[in-house]
Amino acid sequence: MKMTTLTATILIAGTAVTAFAHGGATGIVKERMDAMSAMGDAVKAVTPMMRGEVAYDAETLRDAARTFQEHSGDAMTKLFPEGSGGMPSEAKNAVWTDWDRFASLAEQLGEYAKGLERAAENGLGGMQSGSMMGGSSMMGDTGSMMGGSSMMGGSTMMSASDIAAMPADGAFNMTTQVCSACHSRFRAEED
Ligand code: HEC
């Protein structure tokens, strides 16, 4: 009986902490969470299109690309001033101890998003299509990007023009991989 009460208390306390973590942010931490959430919503708006669940619409993808541009680069890094980690933020301390890498991923997102905006008019390439995969130099480059450490380090970043030459879905995948690359290193909790 006592045991049950104790467990219930812990559960309730745990819930309160979680609610605080997601709802209690203020100031700059709230600002960056809002910016990130706007990008998360943009990804959600585009994903069904990429899966072929709804008709492809270039303008929806361009909207998402602009949202990513708006919140990347300096616009993103200025929302992470030193000392703004800790509860309720999910930002890891590595943001500040490995700032150059963090900033370069923020930069990379902007660059790729510029390319993505232009790639929207290419339409879906169908990554499954044999001709697309048939060793064109563009896909070859992509392959080496994926295989290397460049995603994590941003050392051999592709240019906006490289991304713009890809089918829309390929460009979208490349762009969202930058989100994941940053989250896996710098964010305590994955979506
Ligand atoms: C340069 C690093 C970086 C990039 C690039 C990045 N994020 Fe984030 N993201 C973070 C960090 C760090 C947090 C945790 C922020 C905090 O809690 O203070 C975060 C948090 C989030 C959250 C949770 C927000 C909340 O309300 O707690 C979402 C959603 C998100 N990011 C989506 C995205 C999407 C989508 C992209 C790509 C289009 C992206 N992020 C690109 C670093 C990044």
Counting from 1 in the atom list of ligand 1, the atom nearest the Cα of 37 is: 29
The per-residue pLDDT string of the chain (191 residues; one tens digit each, 9 = 90 and over) reads 455 555 555 455 544 444 455 568 999 999 999 999 999 999 999 999 999 999 999 999 999 999 999 999 999 999 999 999 998 999 999 999 999 999 999 999 999 999 999 999 999 996 544 344 433 444 444 444 444 444 444 457 899 999 999 999 999 999 999 999 999 999 997 44
Asked if residues 150 and 31 have their Cβ atoms less than 8 Å apart, the reply is no
Q: What is the pLDDT of residue 24?
A: 82
| For ligand 1, atom 2: residue with the closest CA | 182
Residue type for position 32: R
Q: Among the atoms of ligand 1, which is closest to the Cα of residue 103?
A: 1
Pocket of ligand 1 (CB under 6 A): 29, 32-33, 36-37, 39-40, 43, 68, 89-91, 95, 102, 105-106, 109, 176, 178-179, 182-183, 186-187, 191
Identity of the amino acid at 52: G
Residue 80 to residue 21: CA distance in whole angstroms: 17
